[in-house]
Amino acid sequence: MCLAIPARVEQIIDSGNAVVDFGGVRRSISLALVDGVSVGDYVIVHVGFALQKLDVEEAERTLALLAEMNQGAGRET
Amino acid sequence: MTKLITIDPVTRIEGHSKITIRLDDDGRVDVARLHITQFRGFEKFTEGRPYQEMPSLTARTCGICPISHLLASAKACDDLMAVTIPASAAMLRRVINFGQLIQSHALSFFHLSSPDLLLGMDSDPASRHILGVAAKFPELAKDGIWLRKFGQQIIERLSGKRIHPTWIVPGGVSQPLSEAVRDQIVAEIPQAMAIARKTLDWFKPAIANFQDEIDSFANFPSLFLGLVSPDGAIEHYDGYMRVVDAQRRIVVDKIESRDYAKYIGEAVEPDSYLKSPYFKPLGYPAGLYRVGPLARLNVCERMGTPLAEGELADFRALQPEGAVLSSFHFHYARLVEILYALERVAELLGSPDILSTQVRAIANPNKAEGVGISEAPRGTLIHNYRIDANGLITWANLIIATGHNNLAMNQGITQVAKRFVDGRKIGEGALNRVEAVIRCYDPCLSCSTHALGEMPLRIELLDASGEVLDSCERGL
């Protein structure tokens, strides 16, 4: 199954686009589907669109869980 | 000499996936494959955890359709507890499931697929995206955003703002619905219906413009699998699994959740990390089947709501003799399902029982194994858990929609590549069509790999020894 990794908003380029960071990988995404995103927010990204804003606590819990999974079960590539 | 063309990754799907197209000695397409890397340790990771944690755990790791995982997981937990949840809780779970379906289908249709449909498969990739659509068809783009938001707001209004709501719980839901929230949703249904209606009225006559794609987009006989209600109507939350063949004859009916493994086998192929489920009675790989919107419209006998019933009749007219076979019609099926979901949400919210405060059954586990099955937007989702005497997970198995469709996607890519790929290079149009076939299935390959580094968009042409004959790169 796919994993939803929270992306941290690093930079708002203009009202419609932002640069986000996925654990070290930066890329540009569209903000067309979410309102009121600012730098430091976490978002779930699908196919280049931020789908939803996450609160920081929620995002950190997910990131902690993913880190645990990465250590425990390993990731196959 | 055999050549290999690799598309890596698929634009706008974004997963850690690549496509290889193998050419024969004459430069004609022999076979094409989609290679998907996904996290395979998840089931193992859940072992030793309390079963009650499974809904939020599975939803947290799949942010694209968290509601689907919450529902299938909660149903597996209901089964472990051996409870029948209150009727109002089941109704509320249905409403949130439709909210998820509407937002997901709207995203797929308007944001991912409409650029291909409206701007043309051969148009400039630099502007072939939703912003390009917004520039030329502002009203349609606005409608798509509004409709997706409506579905998303059903989820948020019912369960709170968080993406991993704890509202869907083993035994039912945690909070009853308030009158105020019901009225907010009901007030917006007419606008949502108008958008669904308008989009169908535009899309249906436009289908004729895509005959080439319809003929070649994974248009082949196969089995279809999906849930139906006890009386054979389309079903997204409960009911039984049914399998029909390409003639739309029922192959197996009324498959109980607990019996899924009698009919669905899971093969592991060496060059993909995604398991390949198949219909066991036909064996692997002959037991290829498809799930999702197209499959659901093919397996059911009726929709059971007035407007969607009429749309099903029109849809069936595409192939009066049997099942609708072209995966291109996943798009059409999504629009019919959006209309259906809106009718059902209106119906459910119109019932006085929806406000009942009896929404949760409380019990300890009473069984050692539980299965929960629901229809996610992309298709049938199966969660199966075993627990020990302390309620800790000892074994888990999840079959996701993208997995069910794995064999069918490969066959679909091969078919379209044979039609549109010619010679030593992939033309822009052919590349777009190969990707567009995959988008029909709207696979959830996304999210994971971005955290982990490799994101090349590379197309390679290889000979039999693996030497690169030609390559090019595309920006996202």
Taking the CA of residue A71 and the nearest CA in chain B, the distance in Å comes to 10
**Cβ of residue B49 closer than 8 Å to a chain A Cβ:** no
Chains A & B: contacts with CB separation below 8 Å: 135
Count of positions (residues) in chain B: 476
Q: What pLDDT, on the 0 to 100 scale, is given for residue B39?
A: 57
Answer whether B274 touches A (CB < 8 Å).
no
User: What chain B residue is nearest to A23 in terms of C-alpha separation?
Assistant: B451
Nearest CB partner across the interface for A75, out of B39, B162, B164: B39
Q: Is B406 exposed, middle or buried (0-12, 13-18, 19+ CB in 10 A)?
A: buried
Please state at what angle helix B179-206 crosses helix B330-350, rounded to 10 degrees.
150
Which residues of chain A register pLDDT less than 50?
1, 73-77
Q: Which residues of B touch A51 (CB under 8 A)?
A: 63-64, 107
State residue B37 phi and psi, 5-degree precision. Answer: -105, 120
Shortest Cα–Cα distance, B448 to chain A (Å): 5
CA distance B401 to A1: 10
Domain boundaries, chain A: 7-72
Confidence at residue A63, expressed as pLDDT on a 0 to 100 scale: 79
Report CB contact under 8 Å: B164, A49: no
| Residue of A1, A33, A44 to mutate, testing the B interface (most B Cβ within 10 Å of its Cβ) | A1
The CATH T-level fold of domain A7-72 is SH3 type barrels. (2.30.30)
What is the tally of helices (H) and strands (E) in chain A?
1, 5
Indicate the domain borders of chain B: 3-37+411-473, 220-325
pLDDT in tens, chain B (476 residues): 445 544 443 333 344 456 777 777 777 778 777 766 555 567 888 899 999 999 988 887 776 788 999 999 999 999 999 999 999 999 999 999 999 999 999 988 998 788 888 887 777 766 777 777 888 888 998 999 899 999 999 999 998 766 556 899 999 999 999 999 999 999 999 999 999 999 999 999 999 888 988 888 888 999 999 999 999 999 999 999 999 999 999 999 999 999 999 999 998 776 555 678 999 999 998 999 999 999 999 999 999 999 999 999 999 999 998 999 998 999 999 999 999 999 999 999 999 999 999 999 999 999 999 999 999 999 999 999 999 999 999 999 998 888 888 889 888 888 888 887 776 677 777 777 777 787 787 776 543 332 222 233 344 545 555 555 555 444 33
Decide if A65 and B57 are in contact by the 8 Å CB cutoff.
Answer: yes
pLDDT in the model for residue A3: 58
**ipTM strictly over 0.85?**
no
Dihedral of alpha carbons B245, B248, B253, B257, sign = positive
CB contact set of B273 (below 8 Å; sequence gap of 6+)? A76, B36, B37, B38, B40
- Would you call B198 an interface residue with chain A, using a CB distance cutoff of 8 Å? no
Provide the phi-psi class of B238: left if phi over 0, else alpha when psi is between -120 and 50, else beta: beta
pLDDT at B11: 36
- A54 interaction partners in chain B (CB closer than 8 Å): 162-163
CB contact under 8 A, B451 and A72: no
Residues 402-421 of B with CB under 8 A from A: 402
CB under 8 Å to A61, separation ≥6 — which residues?
B60
Task: Note whether A26 contacts B: Cβ–Cβ < 8 A.
Answer: no
